[in-house]
Structure 1
């Protein structure tokens, strides 16, 4: 049986990979370990990556860490506060959403935003999901304007 998401619906293996990725990116933001050490740590934990898609988890984590400066620069103009004031959980979720919007064109923009919003509901502050939704919606308009115009 799949683990439920914030609305109680079962999560896909990719959805679970996103969830584990947010946890790993949060740790990376706090402790600045290497993606390899984080991957190893999550693989070795009892609950670890569970049913999550391991290849997608590794791609997301490695890609987010490798592209963090440019993802942060893409996010920054859409924030309503200085980057230094971002909650680390929201920061991790925004990096995930930005990575999927920029580097995973096979993931529809609505899926990237919705998955991030659901993660913010699960891990973030009470209304943090509204902030994440607003930032990623504006970012999607900038990064995926062609897809949005096509109504996809």
Structure 2
């Protein structure tokens, strides 16, 4: 078992919470509390809430960005892959302090851990295209 930082565990938990929301709907606040109150592994609660709430508040913008990089609608994505793309796309667009390579690597690790076999390829292509659009300056430097 490999060591995970609190931020990596937080991203993992965000994916799980987004998955639950996408699959069963439900009250955002209840899902947030459920995942904040889990005891396994230290996470950054502020980071978790910031990501989870803001991803859901911006999901239509995120879906537009994701759709521009894949050959199908986001409704055709598996819920795990959709959740991972939400997280990666959100971080590329709104968390510029996180280097784009970190965003992509973290997303690929999550896809390999939770996603369908080979889904990391779709996630890599999508986030790479988005990085070229959203992080042009970072790619130049």
Give TM-score, length-normalised by structure 1.
Answer: 0.88
Unaligned runs of 5+ in 2: none
1:122 to 113, 116, 120: 113
1:46–1:17 Cα change, 3 Å: closer
Give TM-score, length-normalised by structure 2.
Answer: 0.94
DSSP-derived class of the 1:17 partner: helix
Q: Equivalences for 1:3-152 in 2 at 5 Å?
A: 4=1, 8=2, 10-47=3-40, 50-150=41-141
Displacement of 1:34 in angstroms is 3.2
Q: Root-mean-square deviation (CA), in Å?
A: 1.3
| Per-residue CA distance 1:84-127 (angstroms, 9 max, x = gap) | 21111000000000010011011000001110000000000110
Distance 1:106 1:123 in 2: 26
Distance 1:34 1:101 in 2: 26
DSSP-derived class of the 2:116 partner: coil
Distance 2:134 2:79 in 1: 23
The size of the alignment, in residue pairs, is 141
State which drifts further: 77-86 or 133-142.
Answer: 77-86
Unaligned runs of 5+ in 1: none
